[in-house]
Amino acid sequence: MDENIINNLNDELENVLEEGQSLLRNAELEEKFNEIKTEAELLIRKHPISSVAIGVAIGYLIGKILR
């Protein structure tokens, strides 16, 4: 009976550790996403006309592909 309790505790501990690792990975991904977003915003502010032209071109291509 004691062995079952220990096994259950080990399983619970493994689950908690996996959840913790998952949360850390998600936090790191969110941080990377925010960095990329900030860099993109700065680039768009630096070159607004080029950014609009690229956006229009990408929209046109996606429109052609989806038809």
Provide the Cα torsion 43, 44, 50, 51; round to 10°: 130
CA-based angle 35:48:57, to the nearest 5?
A: 95
Segments forming the whole domain that contains residue 31: 2-66
Please report the pLDDT score of residue 1 as a whole number: 57
Contact call for residues 50 and 43 (beta carbons, < 8 A): no
Please give the average pLDDT of every successive group of 10 residues along the chain, which has 67 residues: 77 84 78 88 92 93 91
Only one residue has tokens 């989806």, namely: 66
pTM: 0.53
How many distinct structural domains can be found in the chain? 1
